[in-house]
Amino acid sequence: MEQKGVLLEVKHIYKSFSGVPVLRDLGFAIKKGEIHALMGENGAGKSTVIKIITGVYTKDSGEIVYEGREVPINSRSDAAKLGISTIFQELSLIPTLTVAENIFLGRERTGPFGAIRKKERQKLVEELIAAYDFPLSAHELVENLSIAQKQLVEILKALSVDASLMIMDEPTASLTTTESQHLFRIIRELAAKGVSILYISHRMEEVYQLSDTITVLRDGCKVGTYARDEVTPEDIIRYMIGKDIEDKESYAKPSENEGKTPILEVEHLRIPGVIEDVSFQVYPGEVLGLSGLIGSGRTEIVRAIFGADRTASGMVKIRGRKLSLRSIGEAVENGIGYVPEDRGQEGFVPLMSIKQNIISCNFDWISRKRLFTDADKEKQVADQAVKTFNIKPARPDQLVINLSGGNQQKVVLGKWLERELTLLMVDEPTAGVDVGAKDEIYHLIHQLVQTGSAVLLVSSDLNELLKLSNRILVLRGGYIIRELPGGSVNEEQILTIASGLGEEEMR
């Protein structure tokens, strides 16, 4: 058997953000024509190392060796010149441009006087679409495409470059089974032609269907690199988590909902391309956890309940009152609060103070007759919030952009906890938060449910999910496939169920 040479090697890579290390002495090698899977839990460092290889981030130290020589990669153009093409997990398309314009954006071919050769571009994209048999039209505006079609445009962007290494970060997250199988065929054809593939996916069945080699990361370090036939899916899950069994004494107790009236009722919730049919209830004094892999629909569910997704349909009731699913204001008026996954973009206003952010969700009861602000009351509420939630520095006039991640998150939580909430929905409540702030946030959540309110929790941190959740719903492919009582399972079992390994799906 012919021994493949090494195309790319990362050596002793270190990277930190704000003094917090995210990659530590990381190293692995990708051979020519190899399909190499990179696996690890959320936060393990997969996306960070990809962004270093592609020039989005700069490494703190270490080496990147490409075809036998150390190379500087300080920008995306540096990576492109080497022949590195990437399909990022986050879509990077411009909605108001056509498929053809998006595919060749920044690489337009020009004629005399700098005019773009539009007909030539159109022809090239039409040939590309035909070659890979994608259900797309070169002249269609991207804003008119489905999520799955947009993902196919991202894939075509990468395929339009004569690449020696293609990096694919969750490329099937929005694709159907048929579309995914189509993509797998293309990946195998590319590998057979000598193109190396670095493939990132949480879907274990994909990894074992495609990969030649698997590298596992945990907490920014490499656990090991294995030939696919050397390990089982269960082995990989154990390597990702780093332990076989969790200490269940620290897990939340199971719900005791018998005889209780649900606070939240969700029936036949649907979101095109994401959620097929979801129904569940949340009860007073309960933390209900939503678990699942990327693309399973956890975040989309809470956004729909909050009225932030106008494509959602179905019935949602809060304390028996039906919500329209079209109004965030209506959700807030009915006692629902929402802490979003991306706190920097959606959770707070960076250039406003702690006080201004805290007050932003509370004008209705602080203002006088809803017409005039009450400065004294605002100051009183803000001062009390800073004290109650232990926000540091304890200065209500401090800009939130200047706070640590943990204190920013306490501001986001605090503005909702100043209200009399019926239901708080929290999405990744401790992402990027240090251990001390985590404990404080957990305490705030426990305090809320002890008052009889309920919490709907989305978390990729399985240990966090088990510590907080009295009941857990596991999602996969737009459906709830399991309901688990708190304290009944460990991290490995949840990840196994979410991956579809060894479990019969229940719909």
- Binning pLDDT at 50, 70 and 90, where does residue 246 land? very low
pLDDT per position as a tens digit, 102-120: 998 877 778 787 788 888 8
pTM given for the model? 0.61
Question: Of the candidates 136, 212, 165, which has an alpha carbon nearest to the alpha carbon of residue 65?
Answer: 165
pLDDT at 1 over 60: no
Helices (H), 225-266: 233-241
Q: How far apart are CA 274 and CA 296, in angstroms?
A: 7
- What are the residues whose beta carbons fall under 8 Å from the beta carbon of 323, sequence distance 6 or more? 305, 307, 316, 317, 330, 331, 334
Least confident of 25-34, 304-313, 426-435: 426-435
**CATH fold of the domain at 246-335+421-507:** Rossmann fold (3.40.50)
pLDDT at 176 over 50: yes
Please count the helices (runs of H) and the strands (runs of E) in the chain: 17, 20
Higher pLDDT, 339 or 4: 339
> What does DSSP assign to residue 3?
P
pLDDT on residue 245:
41
Q: Residue ranges per domain, the chain? A: 6-241, 246-335+421-507, 348-419
Over the chain, what is the mean pLDDT?
86
C-alpha distances (whole Å) from 150 to each of 56, 127, 270, 314 are 22, 18, 20, 25
Coil, helix or strand for 1? Answer: coil
Higher pLDDT, 344 or 276: 276
pLDDT per position as a tens digit, 129-167: 998 888 889 999 988 887 678 878 888 888 888 889 999
- Neighbouring C-beta atoms of residue 322, cutoff 10 Å: 11
pLDDT per position as a tens digit, 348-362: 888 889 999 998 888
CATH class of the 6-241 domain in this structure: alpha beta
pLDDT at 41 over 60: yes
pLDDT at 54 over 90: yes
Mean pLDDT value of segment 280-309 = 92
6-241 and 246-335+421-507, same CATH topology? yes
H or E stretch covering 475: strand 471-476
Mean pLDDT value of segment 272-298 = 91
- What are the residues whose beta carbons fall under 8 Å from the beta carbon of 331, sequence distance 6 or more? 305, 306, 307, 318, 323, 338
pLDDT per position as a tens digit, 204-233: 778 888 999 999 998 889 999 999 999 988
Mean pLDDT value of segment 432-451 = 82
Backbone angles phi, psi at 430, to 5 degrees: -125, 20
